[in-house]
Amino acid sequence: MNYVVQQIENLRTIDISRLVKESEDEGYRFVTRLVNDYEDSSNTFDERGEGLFCVQNNTGEVVAIGGINQSPFSENHEVARLRRFYVLQAYRRQGVGTLLQNAIINHAKKHFKEITVRTESAKADAFYRACGFSFDDSASETTHILNFDDKE
């Protein structure tokens, strides 16, 4: 199957209802928060260096989503935060998450020196480590960090 990664300019123009429903069924509310924050304009991924990305399958359905923000937990504007990263169950372990993560990392490298993320999931821990993140829970809001040697 072929996948396309694209940066989302306006979340209102794509259908992520399946991601919202499935994530809620799994007990995760962060995709719902993505929609709510976008609707109330509290997070539209439009600050310097930020971006929201999705992966679409060959029929155009959105099967994964994730974004990068300036970290709300750091005063350093060169620290980014991975946000609202979700892949539909049927598309996990097929390279979709890695494809999305690589697009986000490549975008972030141009604007930031570091990406942080927090997860409580063992599967997500393994995924982030495979993508080059180091486990670091020295700050309460972070479990993994990816440092870039040099900004490109």
pLDDT 10s per residue in the chain (152 long)? Answer: 799 999 999 999 999 999 999 999 999 899 999 999 999 999 999 999 999 999 999 999 999 999 999 998 888 889 999 999 999 999 999 999 999 999 999 999 999 999 999 988 888 888 889 989 999 888 788 999 999 975 44
| The predicted structure's pLDDT at residue 25 | 96
What are the chain's domains?
4-147 (3.40.630.30)
| The predicted structure's pLDDT at residue 151 | 44
- At position 128, the amino acid (one-letter code) is Y
pTM beyond 0.85, yes or no: yes
Residue 134 Cα distances to 3, 48, 81, 123, 146, angstroms:
27, 25, 14, 14, 6
